[in-house]
């Protein structure tokens, strides 16, 4: 390295020498000369090769306010030299076409082109004439595909630039083109556009569809660069660069880029580490989550994740798939951290690193009056449109604006005065963030757009000339570029990544989510300036064709570090300076993570044993014996034995191994789980895995010995079932409490009558002897069969694991809600917990009721009415859509007599719901609404103004004249008028409704328009013309209220305009701005009346056909912009 002394304004004889020192490109000589004469030059044509040699202007913008350039003592900057760079080399090029012959008769399927070779790889085009499965309807889909990607070498990749084309067969210069870039690799072996070209444009544009043939073409360029040669799945960022990346959650690349830029600022990282988080919980603490990310980036060998951080932000999974603006995130994130640092050792660090002060002033020209105001800033937003480089944008930022004419400044007692308005920097922060305004909103088209123009920035930045004359210049305002945050894509989406120089050395690195690679200086500067690139491909005749393509990957944020603070800001943070509690916490988390990983890797060696005890049976009051999900579970090796399991259970449940006997529980075909037989002595040493079927879980009933505690005799500890004996379980149902209780279990002889156990059953239930009982077999939840006590167990097909439920016989006259066990089991089988929500608050549960599946509409609202303090007759219900997670469009019809299960059922394969929505009717009961027809009608006056809205209830079999009669009753001015009903769609009258038309075809969700028929329309010599309001944007847009207007035969257009103005009551000034045209009712094409009449006052009806409409064209309204979800702004909720 050598030191380069930058001179003050060079003398003429020294200019050539200066140019040699400062620039490496011979083309820069003219640019340097221009720079002396003009304050805003376009310089640095060779900036990419020289590391961004954009130079500042020589002339200060406001000498009276800025630092005097003659007093500037520029600091010597070290010229940094990167290692020799390898130029990008064309590996190969290729082109191929796919012809859709007989396009109109093609099937809805993909078609493939012939193969072609480029870059030692075979390729083909895949085209869908009617769109790929996920494409918008009515579009051609087009993709470039690697042929047989599974045959490629492991870790293969191909970096490409290609252009998808729809060939214009009559004029090749009008061929439709879409340039793309992609790295093809395993898992991403095809790339293209699903909505490549619409069928409407295909038919409307000449040359694309010729003789029912469409031609698709791809021009491909495959690159081989040093970076590309490392692009494979075996890439280890830590080994290759010493740094690790951050995993993308879906669309969090913007967050990853910002985090990397902040992490490598050692001072900032240390301040984050020092924030007190000892008592914080991971899911609710942004500082702790950020500390974790930084710690992982510093010490892990693999990429870090951000799920804990975004969870601490309060983001849900969906928000992780919405890409936001990185500059807005930076502001919100730093504001949040700044607030959380208050009162800690890190208090004020965000301000000290990123905050500067700006002076804004307004100075009157003709009187002595000046207004000054200073404000703080954390970043500087620079215009890109119309600018060549950063210095141009800074000139524009501090430029002086003259306030004069209609825009004079109100100087208080001095009145309106001509004035100058501008700004200057009072202080500059150690870290200067420049936001390049590449995304701009165009109010004329109501759309955002991205500026991809070439825009240069230097490696070193001298800001002294932009400081206010009173600014403190003790620290030289000389900055070096530290980071470039890049956006690749367009306004609708894209990808963020960052170039960062994390040390004082010259080496740059590219941080692209989890992948970190070394970057060349040309890649950092020339690769992110934007502008145009050259593409090459080999044409069919073998010639190399070159054409320009817009670069969509360009710098969006620039981070400069003040040279005087550079060493301190980029200093590393050694492990001993990290608080001990963080190291302990994160090391413990890492150990737990490693243990979980090991557990997952060894999961195939283990099984889970769930053990149910009789105490679990006693505590269970539902169908079957117990809920195994709530019983103790033990993770044991598959090679373990029952002996091993006994020892584990003994340690956990304090049951001696010799007092344990295990019964294996099987899942029966009817869905119940019952014990079958105990493990014998010969099974004690057999591995448990032999009992596994398909599952990885075994379920056991642990029979605990009922022998005295001091008993050790194996034969006395447990009953040994003899031949013909079975283990039975017995439950008791009490209709008074509506509860089932497990009573006991017993071994029975299957040859005995069932009645032999009745005395024991009455004893267990503490019933008087000889109490008559009803007995039932619990087969499955929906099958509870009565048992005849006179039958034997064998005759009744009762065996081991079966359950008998018994109860007393209800006495005559008892009024139990569920008198028998069968009734109770049926209730349990049919019961459902249903959540009710108000229709106008569809996300809030208002009430929860336990209902049964067979309930009718009236039974449901009978439960709901008292809770709402409303007559159930006024409640209407609406089902829930599980597909869209919102109420269905139409309510449930009470008259359909649906059961609750039908109301909750999903459409098609969608699962059933547990939500119903309710609304309380006010004017009519639900029975009245369903028996009649409720229609909505809006009444308009003669000026086409909405006056009132009405609900009209008429019989379902009535006609529309009944609706008109009801409107006459409700609207006084309609009582004596001739009233008509109109249907209006998309701000146009679709038809006039006949009074004799039945009402049955209309629903309550539409709105009719009612109005009095004007007398002038009743004139037989008048022509009724529909008149509409519209404006022209890209297409014809209708708005406002359409109306019928009577035009008299022979009436001049000037008179028609006068009557229109009177009818609508429009002021002269506004009406003069309107244009008048004739519109086709379907195609929306406008024929302007002034053009048709050639400036003369003609008869309008002579120019119109029967279906034409009279159009009133307005200027395009300044509509409030509707933001997309991705533009809603970054929100950190915690």
Tokens of 175: 């061929």
Q: How far is 507 from 997, CA to CA, in rounded Å? A: 81
- For residues 240 and 230, the answer to whether their CB atoms sit within 8 Å is yes
Place of tokens 């034969």: 715
- For residues 1076 and 1090, the answer to whether their CB atoms sit within 8 Å is yes
DSSP β-bridge partners for residue 150: none
For residue 1028, give the nearest of 1068, 982, 996 by alpha carbon: 982
Using only the alpha carbons of the chain, give its radius of gyration: 41
State the catalytic residue, choosing from 199, 495, 691, 1048.
Answer: 495
State the catalytic residue, choosing from 121, 124, 139, 253.
Answer: 253
Classify 818 as helix, strand or coil.
coil
**Number of Cβ within a 10 Å radius of residue 720:** 11
Q: How far is 164 from 141, CA to CA, in rounded Å? A: 10
**Number of Cβ within a 10 Å radius of residue 59:** 15
- The residues, any chain, with a CB within 8 Å of residue 323's CB and separated by 6 or more, are 251, 253, 254, 493, 494, 496, 1126
- For residues 47 and 30, the answer to whether their CB atoms sit within 8 Å is no
Q: How far is 1031 from 1035, CA to CA, in rounded Å? A: 9
Place of tokens 């019809």: 893
Tokens of 619: 């505590």
Q: How far is 764 from 773, CA to CA, in rounded Å? A: 13
Classify 944 as helix, strand or coil.
coil
Task: Check if 805 is active-site.
Answer: no
The CA-based angle 662-667-671, given to 5 degrees, is 140
Q: How far is 646 from 664, CA to CA, in rounded Å? A: 14
Tokens of 1057: 């305009």
For residue 227, give the nearest of 485, 523, 531 by alpha carbon: 523
Place of tokens 């022979």: 1050
Compute φ and ψ for 279, nearest 5 degrees.
-100, 10
128: Cα separation from own chain's centroid: 28
For residue 728, give the nearest of 714, 742, 740, 707 by alpha carbon: 742
Q: How far is 305 from 566, CA to CA, in rounded Å? A: 29
- The residues, any chain, with a CB within 8 Å of residue 956's CB and separated by 6 or more, are 931, 932, 933, 999, 1000
DSSP 669-713: TTS-EEEEEEPPGGGTTS-GGGG-SSSSEEEEEEEEP-S-TT---
Q: How far is 799 from 727, CA to CA, in rounded Å? A: 7
Compute φ and ψ for 179, nearest 5 degrees.
-75, 140
Given its phi and psi angles, is residue 843 left (phi above 0), alpha (psi -120 to 50 degrees) or beta?
alpha
- The residues, any chain, with a CB within 8 Å of residue 153's CB and separated by 6 or more, are none
For residue 160, give the nearest of 193, 116, 121, 132 by alpha carbon: 121
- For residues 196 and 167, the answer to whether their CB atoms sit within 8 Å is no
- For residues 226 and 506, the answer to whether their CB atoms sit within 8 Å is no
Q: How far is 957 from 936, CA to CA, in rounded Å? A: 17
Residues 926, 927, 931, 933, Cα dihedral to 10°: -20
DSSP 766-785: TPPTT--EEEEEEEETTEEE
Q: How far is 1029 from 1114, CA to CA, in rounded Å? A: 7
Task: Check if 1048 is active-site.
Answer: no
Q: Which residues are catalytic?
A: 253, 495
């Amino acid at each position: 390295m050598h030191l380069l002394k930058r001179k003050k304004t060079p003398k003429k004889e020294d200019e050539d020498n200066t140019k040699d020192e400062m620039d490496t490109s011979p083309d820069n000589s003219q640019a340097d000369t221009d720079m002396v004469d003009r304050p805003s030059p376009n310089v640095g044509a060779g900036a990419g090769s020289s590391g961004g040699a954009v130079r500042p202007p020589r002339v200060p913008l406001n000498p009276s306010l800025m630092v005097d350039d003659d007093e500037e003592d520029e600091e010597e900057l070290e010229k940094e030299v990167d290692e020799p760079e390898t130029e990008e080399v064309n590996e190969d090029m290729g082109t191929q076409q796919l012809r859709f012959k007989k396009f109109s008769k093609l099937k809805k399927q993909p078609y493939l082109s012939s193969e072609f070779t480029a870059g030692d790889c075979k390729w083909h085009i895949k085209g869908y004439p009617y769109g790929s499965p996920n494409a918008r309807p009515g579009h051609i889909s087009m993709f470039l595909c690697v042929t047989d990607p599974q045959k490629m070498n492991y870790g293969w990749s191909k970096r490409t630039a290609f252009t998808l084309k729809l060939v214009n067969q009559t004029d090749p210069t009008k061929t439709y083109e879409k340039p793309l870039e992609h790295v093809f690799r395993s898992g991403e072996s095809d790339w293209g556009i699903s909505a490549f070209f619409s069928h409407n444009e295909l038919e409307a544009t000449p040359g694309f569809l010729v003789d029912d043939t469409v031609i698709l073409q791809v021009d491909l360029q495959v690159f081989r660069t040093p970076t590309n040669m490392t692009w494979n799945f075996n890439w280890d960022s830590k080994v290759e660069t010493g740094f690790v990346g951050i995993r993308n959650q879906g669309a969090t690349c913007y967050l990853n880029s910002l985090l990397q830029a902040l992490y490598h600022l050692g001072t900032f990282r240390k301040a984050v580490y020092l924030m007190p988080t000892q008592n914080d919980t991971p899911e609710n603490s942004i500082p702790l989550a950020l500390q974790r990310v930084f710690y992982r980036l510093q010490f892990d060998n693999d990429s870090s994740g951000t799920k804990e951080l975004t969870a601490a932000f309060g983001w849900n999974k969906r928000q992780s798939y919405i890409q936001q603006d990185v500059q807005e995130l930076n502001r919100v994130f730093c504001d949040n951290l700044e607030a959380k640092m208050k009162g800690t050792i890190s208090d004020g660090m965000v301000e000290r690193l990123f905050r500067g002060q700006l002076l804004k002033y307004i100075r009157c020209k003709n009187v002595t009056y000046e207004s000054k105001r200073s404000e703080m800033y954390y970043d500087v937003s620079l215009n890109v449109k119309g600018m060549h480089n950063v210095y141009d944008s800074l000139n524009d930022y501090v430029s002086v604006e003259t306030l004069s004419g209609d825009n004079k400044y109100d100087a208080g007692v001095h009145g309106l005065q001509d004035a100058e308005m501008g700004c200057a920097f009072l202080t500059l922060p150690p870290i200067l963030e420049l936001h390049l305004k590449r995304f701009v909103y165009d109010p004329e088209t109501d759309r955002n757009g991205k500026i991809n123009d070439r825009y240069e920035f230097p490696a070193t930045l001298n800001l002294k000339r932009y400081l206010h004359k009173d600014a403190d210049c003790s620290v030289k305002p000389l900055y070096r570029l530290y980071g470039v945050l890049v956006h690749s894509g367009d306004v609708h989406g894209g990808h963020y990544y960052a170039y960062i120089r994390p040390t004082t050395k010259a080496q740059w690195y590219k941080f692209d989510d989890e992948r970190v690679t070394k970057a060349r200086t040309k890649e950092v500067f020339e690769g992110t300036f934007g502008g145009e690139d050259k593409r090459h491909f080999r044409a069919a005749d073998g010639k190399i064709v070159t054409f320009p393509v817009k670069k969509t990957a360009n710098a969006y944020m620039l981070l400069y570090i003040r040279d005087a603070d550079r060493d301190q800001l980029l200093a590393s943070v050694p492990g001993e300076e990290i608080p001990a509690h963080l190291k302990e916490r994160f090391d413990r988390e890492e150990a737990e993570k490693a243990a979980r990983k090991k557990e997952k890797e060894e999961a195939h060696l283990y099984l889970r044993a769930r053990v149910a005890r009789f105490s679990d049976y006693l505590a269970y009051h539902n169908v079957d014996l117990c809920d195994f999900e709530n019983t103790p579970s033990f993770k044991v090796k598959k090679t373990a034995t029952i002996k091993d399991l006994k020892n584990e259970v003994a340690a956990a449940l304090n049951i001696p191994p010799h007092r344990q006997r295990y019964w294996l529980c099987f899942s029966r075909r009817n869905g119940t789980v019952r014990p079958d037989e105990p493990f014998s002595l010969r099974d004690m040493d057999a591995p448990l895995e032999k009992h596994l079927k398909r599952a990885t879980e075994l379920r056991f009933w642990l029979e605990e010995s009922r022998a005295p505690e001091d008993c050790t005799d194996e034969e006395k500890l447990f009953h040994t079932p003899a031949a013909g004996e079975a283990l039975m379980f017995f439950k008791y149902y009490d209709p008074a409490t509506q509860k089932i209780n497990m009573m006991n279990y017993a071994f029975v002889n299957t040859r005995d009558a069932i009645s032999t156990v009745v005395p024991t059953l009455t004893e267990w239930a503490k019933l008087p002897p000889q109490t008559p009982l009803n007995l039932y077999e619990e087969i499955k939840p929906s099958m509870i069969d009565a048992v005849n006590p006179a039958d034997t167990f064998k005759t009744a097909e009762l065996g081991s694991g079966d359950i008998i439920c018994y109860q007393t016989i209800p006495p005559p006259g008892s009024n139990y809600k569920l008198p028998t066990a069968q009734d109770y089991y049926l209730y349990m089988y049919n019961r459902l917990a249903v959540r009710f929500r108000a229709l106008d608050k569809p996300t809030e549960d208002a009430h929860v009721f336990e209902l049964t599946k067979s309930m009718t509409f009236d039974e449901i609202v009978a439960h709901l009415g008292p809770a709402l303090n409303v007559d159930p007759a006024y409640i209407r219900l609406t089902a829930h859509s599980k597909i869209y997670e919102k109420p269905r469009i139409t309510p449930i019809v009470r008259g359909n007599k649906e059961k609750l299960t039908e109301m909750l059922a999903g459409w098609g394969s969608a699962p059933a719901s547990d939500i119903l929505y309710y609304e309380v009717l006010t004017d009519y009961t639900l029975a009245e609404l369903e028996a009649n027809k409720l229609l909505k009608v809006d009444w308009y006056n003669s000026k086409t103004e909405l006056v009132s809205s009405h609900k009209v209830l008429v019989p379902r079999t009535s006609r529309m004249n009944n609706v008109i009669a009801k409107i006459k009753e409700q609207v006084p001015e309609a009582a004596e008028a001739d009233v008509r009903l109109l249907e209006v769609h998309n701000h146009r009258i679709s038809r006039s409704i006949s009074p004799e038309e039945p009402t049955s075809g209309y629903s309550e969700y539409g709105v009719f328009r009612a109005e009095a028929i004007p007398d002038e329309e009743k004139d037989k010599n008048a022509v009724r013309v529909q008149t509409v309001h519209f404006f022209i944007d890209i297409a014809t847009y209708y708005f406002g209220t359409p109306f019928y207007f009577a035009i008299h035969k022979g009436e001049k257009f000037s008179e028609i305009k006068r009557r229109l103005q009177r009818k609508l009551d429009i002021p002269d000034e506004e009406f003069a701005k309107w244009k008048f045209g004739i519109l086709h009712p379907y195609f929306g094409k406008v024929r302007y009346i002034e053009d048709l009449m050639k400036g003369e006052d003609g008869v309008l009806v002579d120019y119109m056909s029967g279906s034409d409409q009279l159009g009133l064209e307005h200027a395009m309204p300044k509509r409030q912009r509707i933001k997309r979800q991705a533009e809603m702004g970054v929100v950190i909720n915690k």
